[in-house]
């Protein structure tokens, strides 16, 4: 899944990087936005390096693209088995678990379970 600037991250355009004999490394920080949307797949975006063709430089950009993968940090809680069959005069035990993600240390998530009539009378 491809991510979208502004929704998933703050895009960068035409950010100049400076290199010299005393500064052989430069960096760019790209802010990743948190959301509450549970994504089915990891999201990705790419960053590319280019050289201003007006400059008379003998430089090779290799590799000239990088891929950033955004790992979803949202928690998914659900029924282990969403369909259960029991006999009359028995009990239905429904197991609910964290299906994906991690609850941060010190936090507690509370969900509500409610039953509703279907064909049972």
Digit-coded pLDDT (tens) for 93-109: 888 888 877 888 888 88
More confident: 57 or 43: 43
Q: Rounded to an integer, what distance in angstroms lies between the CA atom of residue 73 and that of residue 109?
A: 14
Residues 57, 70: Cα–Cα separation, whole Å: 34
Concatenated DSSP letters of 4-43: -BTTTB----S------SS--------PBPP-S---SS-E
Contact criterion met (CB below 8 Å) for 10 and 30: yes
Note the pTM of the prediction, 2 decimals.
0.61
């Amino acid at each position: 899944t491809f991510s979208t600037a502004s929704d998933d991250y703050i895009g960068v355009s035409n950010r100049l990087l400076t290199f010299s004999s005393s500064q052989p490394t430069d960096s760019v920080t790209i802010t990743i936005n948190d959301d509450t949307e549970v994504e089915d797949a990891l999201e990705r975006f790419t960053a590319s390096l280019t050289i201003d063709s007006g400059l008379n430089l003998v430089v090779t950009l290799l590799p000239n693209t990088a891929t950033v993968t955004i790992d979803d940090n949202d928690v998914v809680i659900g029924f282990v088995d969403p369909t259960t069959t029991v006999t009359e005069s028995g009990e239905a035990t429904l197991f609910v678990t964290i299906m994906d993600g991690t609850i941060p240390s010190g936090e507690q998530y509370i969900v509500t379970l409610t039953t509703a009539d279907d064909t049972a009378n």
